[in-house]
């Protein structure tokens, strides 16, 4: 279970005075650019505060077109357009990094944060820092094992239906982790007893394939997302520095790969700022 915080940013230019831009209702989805001095293809509009020059499109409106329309400040215009983009998304560049915080628990607990950086409507670069905790204390054979690791994975996510960051997707990531393990066991055989304790730090590389779906509903500055998915393949390896060389040993997990077939569900709530 988790939540998403989606940030929409606006670039604001400071001006010495309040500039009013006259925006007709039928053209409120048009971007007007305030320019000084005015180029040749502009219409000059004067307000009580300061003269404003608006770049006009096709067809070219005349000054009379704007006389009966309301005036809007630049801040009001930005606020209205920001809400319109969230409610009616059309281009991927209007989307900013999405943060998804969630957790899974099937014999272990994994807490992760996913940052999504869109490249297009269907493709994103993702980065996922995570904390993985395993605590197994089996009283049946007096064996206990504790493992925790922290690291970050990075990769690419592809949405299959070419929608704007929603629907079914597949992704592949490679992660580098540092961790600590502690294993203790106590076995009794007749009058003899064999026990051992093992503890140490480790470094790890994981390559993971994942597929899932994202369902998204948005209205103005609020959005709600629900996600469901699972890992479908994984390779894992250890790496260490020996004699100033990086040694990497990769092993396909085989039967242990089934441990990665874990259902991962969560939801998120985003607020546009």
pLDDT higher for 272 or 161?
161
Q: According to DSSP H, which parts of 34-113 are helical?
A: 63-66, 74-87
65 plus 182 within the same structural domain = no
With cut-offs at 50, 70 and 90, classify the pLDDT of residue 154: very high
109 plus 80 within the same structural domain = no
Q: Which of 34, 68, 87 is the last residue of a domain?
A: 87
Determine the structural domain holding residue 126 and report its residue range.
Answer: 92-271
Percentage of the chain with pLDDT > 70? 33
Task: Give the Cα separation of 102 and 29 in Å (integer).
Answer: 37
Q: Which of 87, 114, 131 is the last residue of a domain?
A: 87
Of 2, 59, 60, 56, the C-alpha closest to 33 is 56
48 plus 112 within the same structural domain = no
Residues 193-246 pLDDT 10s: 556 677 888 888 888 888 777 766 655 545 566 666 777 777 777 777 666 665
Number of domains in the chain: 2
> pTM here?
0.52
With cut-offs at 50, 70 and 90, classify the pLDDT of residue 16: very low
229 plus 259 within the same structural domain = yes
Q: Which of 87, 109, 138 is the last residue of a domain?
A: 87
Query: ω before 257 within 30° of 0 (cis)?
Result: no
At residue 8, does pLDDT exceed 90? no
H or E segment to which residue 237 belongs: strand 222-242
Query: Is residue 3 in some structural domain?
Result: no
Interacting residues of 196 by C-beta distance below 8 A, sequence separation 6+: 184, 185
111 plus 52 within the same structural domain = no
Query: Is residue 11 in some structural domain?
Result: no
């Amino acid at each position: 279970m988790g939540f998403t915080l989606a940030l929409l940013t606006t670039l604001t230019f400071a001006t010495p005075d309040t500039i009013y831009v006259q925006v007709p209702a039928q053209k409120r989805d048009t971007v007007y650019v305030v320019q000084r001095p005015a180029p040749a293809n502009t219409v000059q509009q004067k307000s009580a505060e300061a003269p404003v020059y608006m770049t006009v499109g096709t067809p070219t409106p005349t000054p009379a077109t704007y006389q009966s329309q309301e005036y809007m400040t630049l801040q009001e215009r930005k606020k209205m357009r920001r809400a319109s983009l969230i409610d009616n998304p059309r281009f991927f560049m209007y989307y900013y990094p999405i943060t998804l915080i969630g957790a899974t628990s099937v014999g272990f607990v994994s807490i992760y944060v996913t940052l999504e950086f869109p490249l297009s409507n269907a493709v994103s670069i993702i980065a996922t820092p995570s904390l993985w905790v395993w605590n197994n204390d089996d009283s049946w054979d007096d064996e206990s094992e504790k493992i925790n690791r922290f690291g970050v994975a990075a990769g690419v996510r592809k949405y299959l239906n070419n929608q704007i960051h929603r629907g079914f997707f597949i992704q592949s990531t490679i992660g580098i982790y540092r961790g600590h393990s502690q294993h203790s066991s106590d076995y009794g055989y007749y009058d003899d007893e064999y026990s051992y304790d093992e503890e140490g730090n480790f470094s790890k590389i994981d390559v993971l394939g994942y597929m899932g779906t994202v369902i998204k509903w948005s209205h103005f500055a609020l959005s709600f997302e629900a996600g469901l998915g699972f890992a479908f393949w994984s390779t894992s390896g250890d790496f260490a520095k020996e004699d100033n060389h990086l040694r990497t040993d990769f092993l396909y997990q085989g039967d242990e790969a089934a441990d990665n077939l874990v259902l991962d569900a969560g939801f998120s709530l985003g607020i546009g700022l």
